[in-house]
Each structure stands twice: as structure tokens, then as C-alpha cells.
Amino acid sequence: MKNTIATAKRDDMPVDLDGCLVQVKASKDWFARRILPLSLDQLRWRPHVGRWSIAECLDHLNVYPRALPSKAR
């Protein structure tokens, strides 16, 4: 039996917890393979003026969800 939880989001569709855990594991594995080996210079490198570096993108992904009002989360 799949682990699911009812949610008030998206018309009360249940959330597939097992599927979410698989996605989290895949994201962690990808991050370990692709991001952790990079040097600080590589993380801070910008492809063009006005474009974000990898480090800036990661910072945005970590900060932005906390900046959302609680109703939007």
C-alpha cells in the first residue's frame, strides 16, 4: 500500500508520499554528483553579466520559500 496523505491543496487530491521520497532521494543523489564536486570559483561563476551563478540559484531556492506568506506555502 502506498503512503498517501490527504491535503487541502489541489482539490483535496492525496499526496503520494512514497513518490515524494523517491524524488527527494533522486535530487540528493544528483546534487552529490553534480554540485558538491564543484569548486567555489565554479559555483560563483556567472555565464554572462546579469545572469545568476549556481551559488546564487541555490541561495534563491533556499531563501525564497521562507519569504512566501504562509498561505502560499
Co-location of 13 and 33 in the same domain = yes
Q: Are residues 9 and 28 in the same domain?
A: yes
Q: Specify the pLDDT at position 13.
A: 72
Q: Quickly state the pLDDT bin for 14 (edges 50, 70, 90).
A: confident
Q: Is the dihedral of CA 43, 48, 49, 51 positive or negative?
A: negative
pTM above threshold 0.85: no
As a whole-number percent, the residues of the chain with pLDDT over 70 amount to 71
What does pLDDT average to over the chain? 84
Q: Taking Cα atoms as reference points, which of 66, 39, 69 lies closest to residue 55?
A: 39
DSSP string, 6-50: --SSTTTPPEEHHHHHHHHHHHHHHHHHHTTTS-HHHHH--SSTT
Q: Are residues 45 and 64 in the same domain?
A: yes
**pLDDT tens track for 39-70:** 999 999 999 999 999 999 999 988 876 766 66
Instruction: Count how many domains the chain has.
Output: 2
